[in-house]
Amino acid sequence: MKVLVLNGPNLNMLGRREPGIYGRATLDQIEEKVLELAGRLGAEVVFFQSNHEGDLVDRIHGADGTFDAVILNPGAFAHYSIAIRDAVASVSVPVVEVHISNVHAREDFRRRLVIAPVTAGVITGLGMDGYLLGLRAVVELVRKRAGE
Amino acid sequence: MKVLVLNGPNLNMLGRREPGIYGRATLDQIEEKVLELAGRLGAEVVFFQSNHEGDLVDRIHGADGTFDAVILNPGAFAHYSIAIRDAVASVSVPVVEVHISNVHAREDFRRRLVIAPVTAGVITGLGMDGYLLGLRAVVELVRKRAGE
Amino acid sequence: MKVLVLNGPNLNMLGRREPGIYGRATLDQIEEKVLELAGRLGAEVVFFQSNHEGDLVDRIHGADGTFDAVILNPGAFAHYSIAIRDAVASVSVPVVEVHISNVHAREDFRRRLVIAPVTAGVITGLGMDGYLLGLRAVVELVRKRAGE
Amino acid sequence: MKVLVLNGPNLNMLGRREPGIYGRATLDQIEEKVLELAGRLGAEVVFFQSNHEGDLVDRIHGADGTFDAVILNPGAFAHYSIAIRDAVASVSVPVVEVHISNVHAREDFRRRLVIAPVTAGVITGLGMDGYLLGLRAVVELVRKRAGE
Amino acid sequence: MKVLVLNGPNLNMLGRREPGIYGRATLDQIEEKVLELAGRLGAEVVFFQSNHEGDLVDRIHGADGTFDAVILNPGAFAHYSIAIRDAVASVSVPVVEVHISNVHAREDFRRRLVIAPVTAGVITGLGMDGYLLGLRAVVELVRKRAGE
Amino acid sequence: MKVLVLNGPNLNMLGRREPGIYGRATLDQIEEKVLELAGRLGAEVVFFQSNHEGDLVDRIHGADGTFDAVILNPGAFAHYSIAIRDAVASVSVPVVEVHISNVHAREDFRRRLVIAPVTAGVITGLGMDGYLLGLRAVVELVRKRAGE
Amino acid sequence: MKVLVLNGPNLNMLGRREPGIYGRATLDQIEEKVLELAGRLGAEVVFFQSNHEGDLVDRIHGADGTFDAVILNPGAFAHYSIAIRDAVASVSVPVVEVHISNVHAREDFRRRLVIAPVTAGVITGLGMDGYLLGLRAVVELVRKRAGE
Amino acid sequence: MKVLVLNGPNLNMLGRREPGIYGRATLDQIEEKVLELAGRLGAEVVFFQSNHEGDLVDRIHGADGTFDAVILNPGAFAHYSIAIRDAVASVSVPVVEVHISNVHAREDFRRRLVIAPVTAGVITGLGMDGYLLGLRAVVELVRKRAGE
Amino acid sequence: MKVLVLNGPNLNMLGRREPGIYGRATLDQIEEKVLELAGRLGAEVVFFQSNHEGDLVDRIHGADGTFDAVILNPGAFAHYSIAIRDAVASVSVPVVEVHISNVHAREDFRRRLVIAPVTAGVITGLGMDGYLLGLRAVVELVRKRAGE
Amino acid sequence: MKVLVLNGPNLNMLGRREPGIYGRATLDQIEEKVLELAGRLGAEVVFFQSNHEGDLVDRIHGADGTFDAVILNPGAFAHYSIAIRDAVASVSVPVVEVHISNVHAREDFRRRLVIAPVTAGVITGLGMDGYLLGLRAVVELVRKRAGE
Amino acid sequence: MKVLVLNGPNLNMLGRREPGIYGRATLDQIEEKVLELAGRLGAEVVFFQSNHEGDLVDRIHGADGTFDAVILNPGAFAHYSIAIRDAVASVSVPVVEVHISNVHAREDFRRRLVIAPVTAGVITGLGMDGYLLGLRAVVELVRKRAGE
Amino acid sequence: MKVLVLNGPNLNMLGRREPGIYGRATLDQIEEKVLELAGRLGAEVVFFQSNHEGDLVDRIHGADGTFDAVILNPGAFAHYSIAIRDAVASVSVPVVEVHISNVHAREDFRRRLVIAPVTAGVITGLGMDGYLLGLRAVVELVRKRAGE
């Protein structure tokens, strides 16, 4: 099973960026943890981070047929990128959306989730664990689909 | 570690209720799966379901000091029960909110999550697995807090 | 044919409560009239009134399989109880919503009918007669469904 | 007792028009059913259908003094014709508004009912039966007013 | 003179609950202070707290004819319970609404007061003193009405 | 100088219609007063009333080149007829809008004036006198334009 | 008959201020025309202009009992001064509101008229003539009231 | 192939009406151009213009079964006529909506297109050419449907 | 203890102004009652009323350091004067806001309280008693602060 | 005549992406059809597709002076890219906007067209034919401008 | 070159007022700094502060012809004083608006800037330096205009 | 002191792009002026312009630790790029936002400034001078911070 973990804008700044909101773990540390769990779950994981909306769209397209699932933390794009929404809707690979912070508890504009309606599900507020739970979620999703 | 799993209105109808949206698993089956995982994670789980807002408020109060964490699927109350929101805010036990369906992909009024801002995090759209991920999430949360 | 007539909050105050809006008939008098018509239409009617949202949810669940139809006057819950909406959506028994007053002619918040979209139909403004028309409506609905 | 049944735009298309929403009965069949019930209730009924807002306004004016009640299905005009609203408000003959489909369950703009606040009551979602219930309602209304 | 003091959801948590917002006084301490003042003012006071909307509706109905006034802290229900609003409107006993915190200075949804328009008046932000002022207010109201 | 006085829907009901709002003068009486003033001001006046939006559009088109000014009471169309707005904008003859009642003091939807932005001016709330003031206004307007 | 003509903020700048919108007549020239008409109508007119909201409130209070009518051009205050609205509502002298420009045809915020609902009527867009028509309107209003 | 070209209110004023927005071509000139292209494409075209909403509804009904396609410029009705929307939805003949001006670049209310959602497509802003493109579009649509 | 009682626009009209809403007591009578209670509570009270927003701002500034508390009835300014809000926020003396009428039960715009969020608390709807309760409230506030 | 056909995000997925909405034609097939028509119309066409907003902005800038017209399908950017809007506004080359699906008939957020107000016109809902009509439109536009 | 520096309500409290937001500099200190820079730039500066909207309107009128530019910190009036907006629009002297705090980062109502659209430009968030930058800006503006 | 001047989309078109709004200066000319002033102020300035949101995010990240301050003209991104907002919030280098045109005086959507709340301040409407003032502002900011 191959899983693509896509991280959007500013997530390269994790650890340095507003640690009161996002915690002190860096993206590298998160990837390490994800890899470790992936090993235990028998999944292969590829990571990609970009601050460019178009790159994320390209990668989502590229995941179709080459990955079994996508874990997507769209960062700020979650709130306005209809282009990424359409990209997710245009592929058949299942996507689970993850947010480190509890977006429901922050500025009003962060309550608008434009990509979420076309994902399989959303995990918010659980910090770095969100990625691990997301990995478990997609592994389960793929297994269920395969079992049908 | 003791975990309370609270289910709100209409969740007693799971399996029978709009299976296209909520799936065919009954609440009993979900509880069985949760118990099984709880056993593996070394957690004790108590279940409670009610269609009465006041009962849920009472139980959240009661969980303070007697449980280490709460997994809350508030059902429809997620969208308007400020009383439950205030109950969650009034206790120190961490609460993770779970929704079986992807509330972001349904009617507009389901996008308003009034309890979510005072929870630790939210998991939506992942069906029965949402409870299992929620259990993992609270176990992790409690361990981290204990470790501090 | 068995019909459940459910009345929500404050309808126990009928006759005493703001008679300029709700008229002078008491709930007992309405029930008497409904029983009389039911007799003529060959229907058996059970009445239940509660000021508790959860009780109404419970009764709607309970009506599934035991009643052929429900006449529901949700009172104020019509305007915000998504829990009752979901209860109606979770059962297969047809529900007709009745309001004594013309909710469209009152405060703005009474124009929002959150349960109505999942009912078979709505009758408003016709006073006590609304229940009698509602009874005729559900008798007809049940007969048509049976005839299919 | 004389009753005017007014049908607004596109109701001449009944039976042919979106039968999934409006059913397969034609306006002629509805009128037949209404006449039959009117006979039993001792009422005389006149039918008029028009796609022209001004015609409906004219007829409502004309009903004042010549009819005892009006059953009005304003069709799409229900949602924006303040002219028809004002016409209803300008006459003393009671008007009951009927909609074949459950307007609360459709597009957002169909939830705005601009005429309803000045009618005696509204019946929606009960198909062809709505007219029959409307007839019973106005017969009852007229009798009550006469009895005062 | 008999006065009913009704407290809504989460007020049983006073003292423990978010003391930065609600202060450190418990409901027992407030009741003690109210009783003391009531003694001085020659009023008899009964207290009732519930987290159940329906219980509050029932009690408001029950107060009609048995109490001279009601002091109501509806808690979170202040912001959405049209059922309680209708209960207050359905009785002739005067109701004064009290809030411990300054609801105007908090989240936007707390600025919507749905019960307030049918009360005699509202006192907010003055902490435990709000109940004492509320008691003075209803005593004065009742005396004025009696004097007419 | 030739002036067209156009009256929209329900104005034929003046005197009979909601006299608390519109007064007891009939349209005939208003026309008589307008004619009398017109005589004094040396203007020729033609009257037209219709409940049909299309008729009003036709007449506004027809006034271009044949009348020097139009006094328009669009009735309810003032609030939604963009067709009449566009008709007024499509002709060069000046139009003054008149309303008998104070539309700003009534329902919210009457505060939206869609035709007003393309008229020369608006007179509201002054009853029958509004037409007389409107006549004076257009006579003055025409004289000023002619004097340029 | 005594009439007070009140002009609000920036009307002292007439003639100089945005002549494309407000014309080239100065306030002095308008007052001259009003005086001339007042002479013909047998009315005594007093003028007052201020850029201070409180001065206008004071003058409206002072007009009660000393003037028979007020012509009020509130300028920008028309769009937000609830204080002036309450002042107009607090006196029994009739007030007619006048605007030189067509406020309906300008910025959105100028469509909100907060004082208008408590005036007798509003005249907009007719330039300097608005004051003359306003004078005729109040003279007529006072005569009608006197005749009752 | 038979095509009906329906023009709504004020389009009879083309050439005379606000030429800065609508251009200088008259409706006759447009019809001539359409006829010429229709000849080349082998289509028969009938034209109808009305300022009456009801006439347009009638014609749309009448087109069902007698025409292969409709080109509809609803003029101002595009922004509020739900009656025409329902007429289009009630027939099976395909409808393409055309606007001469770029409605997206004008007043806010012109951005609301209530008929467009039930048409096959919309062409705006391209002046007289919009009709020619519309004709090509419907010819193509009809051919594709026939080819299935 | 020194208390400043500030009254805003139109409160000089009390007793004369809309007595159905504001009661028949004049401001003088209210002041008398307040003085009497102040005597009993050992407080010194100064009164100031103005229809000028700037005067109220000046007085609030002036109260800082010279008064122990302010009772503020901002009248209509409650709904839009951000200047007064900022004045209250700029001083350290505690302010309690009082309204004679129940502002929550009146026009929609009176539900917006822009000053209230920076006050200590708000008392509405209790008529003249609101000032007496306000006095008790500030006396209590000052004592508590002094006791810290 | 040189025409640039710009396609925005996800249009590279045509044929694969939600064929129920976008049809089964691929972008290559569309380009082929456009080239064929361009040949007949004597136009030279260049194609460019990108999922990157910045690339589209760059290309629009680059088209100024090198192309005679642009056909732009901005995809999802149509609904939020003010940057592309400003790019179109910053160049003098005419732009026609094309959408394959009927954006007016889909989610609410697709009705907001932020680029459209600065284009020459918009064609929506006509599938692949939209490009062909767009080509005809720009050819005609360029010829008209050249003829001036 | 003569420059008027106008400060609105509560700016006299600078230094004392919410120093976390507005800093610790007093208005006197700001004026000193401005004078010093003005000396270096060869400008003469006059200061005026008032808590009265009308005073600010008067001063803006008075600046026309006597000053070359105005630096205006309208304080809270920035968010609602249409009177000041109209005053600025009524004079030809250029006005630059300055805010000490970053109004975009505070309460929602501070994001509405009603005067800004008629100023030459706005400087916010830069504390006392805003006035110095504003002085440089107007000096530059005046020089450019003079150079034309 | 090192300052980064970042320009967003379409600013490369300055001088050519809508000169009525943006003036005739090119970006090169602005940079020249900025360099000249920087020389006088002892600052080193680096310029970067991009039409790509991601590039701007990258550069803001890159400025952290390598520059002392950023002057950011986000162009159209000011109104919707939450990604750039988050980038600014994720770095500790101070950012001043500059707009050439007065964004408050243009389309409604330009009044929404999503990046501004996390900047140190905003300068709008002052043309090319905005950059020079921005440079002075950041030089002052950096000096003050250094002085602490």
Which is nearest to I48 in space by CA: I39, I40, I37, I66? I66
What is the tens place of the pLDDT at every residue in K107-136? 999 999 999 999 999 999 999 999 999 999
CB contact under 8 A, G13 and K80: no
What is the tens place of the pLDDT at every residue in D14-68? 988 788 888 888 999 999 999 999 999 999 999 999 999 999 999 999 999 999 9
Question: Considering only alpha carbons, which residue of chain C is nearest residue E82?
Answer: C76
Long-range contacts: L26-32, Cβ < 8 Å, 24+?
Answer: L29/L128, L30/L128, L30/L131, L31/L5
CB contact under 8 A, B102 and A120: yes
> I55: buried, middle or exposed (CB in 10 Å: 19+, 13-18, 0-12)?
middle
pTM, two decimal places: 0.96
- Hey, is the C-beta of A140 within 8 angstroms of any chain L C-beta? no
| Residues of B in Cβ contact (< 8 Å) with E80 | 80, 82
- Hey, is the C-beta of L134 within 8 angstroms of any chain J C-beta? no
What is the tens place of the pLDDT at every residue in F43-80? 999 999 999 999 999 999 999 999 999 999 999 999 99
User: Using CA atoms, how far apart are residues E54 and E81, in angstroms rounded to an integer?
Assistant: 10
Q: CA angle, G94 as apex, G90 and G96 as ends, to 5°?
A: 110
Query: For chain H, where are the alpha helices, taking DSSP H only?
Result: 19-22, 27-41, 53-63, 82-90, 129-147
DSSP letter assigned to residue K145: H
CB contact under 8 A, A75 and L83: yes
Over 60: is that where the pLDDT of K148 sits?
Answer: no
Asked if residues K99 and K121 have their Cβ atoms less than 8 Å apart, the reply is no
pLDDT of residue D146: 85
Give E20→chain I minimum CA distance, Å: 14
Could you tell me how many residues make up chain I?
A: 148
pLDDT of residue H148: 55
J and A in touch (3+ CB pairs within 8 angstroms): yes
Which candidate from I96, I121, I125 shows the least CB-CB separation from E120? Answer: I125
pLDDT of residue A62: 97
Which candidate from E17, E18, E53 shows the least CB-CB separation from B53? Answer: E53
Contacts (Cβ under 8 Å, ≥6 apart) of I35: I45
Which candidate from D105, D132, D141 shows the least CB-CB separation from C117? Answer: D105
Tokens of B144: 């981290």
Question: Considering only alpha carbons, which residue of chain D is nearest residue C141?
Answer: D126
How many Cα atoms sit within 13 Å of F9 on the Cβ side? 32
Tally Cβ neighbours within 10 Å of residue I106: 14
CB contact under 8 A, C53 and E58: no
Tell me, what's the ipTM?
Answer: 0.95
Contacts (Cβ under 8 Å, ≥6 apart) of I8: G83, I49, I50, I51, I56, I72, I73, I74, I75, I76, I77, I78
Mean pLDDT (chain H, rounded): 95
Walk along chain G (148 residues) in steps of 10 and give the mean pLDDT of each run: 97 86 89 97 97 98 96 98 97 97 95 97 96 97 84
CB contact under 8 A, H18 and F90: yes
CB contact under 8 A, B122 and A119: no
Sign of CA dihedral K147, L5, L6, L12: positive
Asked if residues E74 and E110 have their Cβ atoms less than 8 Å apart, the reply is no
C69 by DSSP, 3-state: which? strand
| Residues of L in Cβ contact (< 8 Å) with J82 | 76-77, 79-80, 109
Which is nearest to C117 in space by CA: I9, G17, B109? B109
User: Using CA atoms, how far apart are residues A94 and A106, in angstroms rounded to an integer?
Assistant: 27
Look up tokens 């509020």; give the residue: H80
pLDDT of residue H128: 94
What is the tens place of the pLDDT at every residue in J114-124? 999 999 999 99
Mean pLDDT check: name the lowest of B17-31, B54-68, C54-68, K81-95.
B17-31
F and E in touch (3+ CB pairs within 8 angstroms): no
What is the tens place of the pLDDT at every residue in I113-147? 999 999 999 999 999 999 999 999 999 999 988 87
Tokens of F112: 């939206």
β strands within F44-130, DSSP E: 44-49, 69-73, 95-99, 121-124
Amino acid letter for position I89: A
| Residues of D in Cβ contact (< 8 Å) with F55 | 54
A–J: how many Cβ contacts below 8 A? 56
What element of type H or E holds J45? Answer: strand J44-49
* Conformational region of residue L125, where left means phi above 0, alpha means psi within -120 to 50, and beta covers everything else: left
| Residues of L in Cβ contact (< 8 Å) with K132 | 136
Asked if residues C90 and C114 have their Cβ atoms less than 8 Å apart, the reply is no
D–H: how many Cβ contacts below 8 A? 56
C and L in touch (3+ CB pairs within 8 angstroms): no
Asked if residues B60 and B87 have their Cβ atoms less than 8 Å apart, the reply is yes
Residue of F126, F139, F141, F142 for testing the chain G interface, max G β-carbons within 10 Å:
F126
- Hey, is the C-beta of E18 within 8 angstroms of any chain B C-beta? yes
pLDDT of residue K21: 84
Question: Considering only alpha carbons, which residue of chain J is nearest residue L22?
Answer: J90
Question: Considering only alpha carbons, which residue of chain K is nearest residue G21?
Answer: K90
F–G: how many Cβ contacts below 8 A? 87
Amino acid letter for position B20: G
G and F in touch (3+ CB pairs within 8 angstroms): yes
Instruction: With a cut of 70, list the residues of chain I below it in pLDDT.
Output: 148
User: Using CA atoms, how far apart are residues K84 and K103, in angstroms rounded to an integer?
Assistant: 18
pLDDT of residue J148: 55
User: Using CA atoms, how far apart are residues H48 and H72, in angstroms rounded to an integer?
Assistant: 10
Instruction: With a cut of 50, list the residues of chain B below it in pLDDT.
Output: none
Give B23→chain A minimum CA distance, Å: 13
Q: Which pLDDT band holds residue H76 (cuts at 50, 70, 90)? A: very high
Which is nearest to H129 in space by CA: C82, I80, L121, J133? J133
Give E96→chain I minimum CA distance, Å: 9
User: Using CA atoms, how far apart are residues A47 and A14, in angstroms rounded to an integer?
Assistant: 15
Phi, psi angle pair for D26, to nearest 5°: -90, 165
Tokens of A146: 């395969």
User: Using CA atoms, how far apart are residues B45 and B31, in angstroms rounded to an integer?
Assistant: 9
User: Using CA atoms, how far apart are residues D87 and L19, in angstroms rounded to an integer?
Assistant: 54
K16 versus E110: the higher-pLDDT residue is E110
Query: For G25-66, where are the alpha helices, taking DSSP H only?
Result: 27-41, 53-63
DSSP string of A37-88, one letter each residue: HHHHHT-EEEEEE-S-HHHHHHHHHHHBTTBSEEEEE-GGGGGT-HHHHHHH
Q: Which of C22, C52, C61, C131 is catalytic?
A: C22
pLDDT of residue F148: 55
What is the tens place of the pLDDT at every residue in E35-73? 999 999 999 999 999 999 999 999 999 999 999 999 999
Summarize the confidence of residues D61-82 as an average pLDDT: 97
Q: Which pLDDT band holds residue L33 (cuts at 50, 70, 90)? A: very high
Asked if residues C95 and C120 have their Cβ atoms less than 8 Å apart, the reply is yes
Asked if residues K88 and K113 have their Cβ atoms less than 8 Å apart, the reply is no
Over 90: is that where the pLDDT of F15 sits?
Answer: no
Give I118→chain E minimum CA distance, Å: 7
Tokens of J112: 């907001």
* Conformational region of residue G8, where left means phi above 0, alpha means psi within -120 to 50, and beta covers everything else: beta
| Residues of F in Cβ contact (< 8 Å) with G118 | 105
The set of chains that have 3 or more CB pairs under 8 A with A is: B, J, L
**Is J131 one of the catalytic residues?**
no
Over 60: is that where the pLDDT of A148 sits?
Answer: no
Phi, psi angle pair for L98, to nearest 5°: -125, 135
Contacts (Cβ under 8 Å, ≥6 apart) of D7: D27, D47, D48, D49, D50, D73, D75
Residue of H7, H10, H12, H57 for testing the chain F interface, max F β-carbons within 10 Å:
H10
Query: For chain B, where are the alpha helices, taking DSSP H only?
Result: 19-22, 27-41, 53-63, 82-90, 129-147
Asked if residues I128 and I25 have their Cβ atoms less than 8 Å apart, the reply is yes
User: Using CA atoms, how far apart are residues F5 and E130, in angstroms rounded to an integer?
Assistant: 61
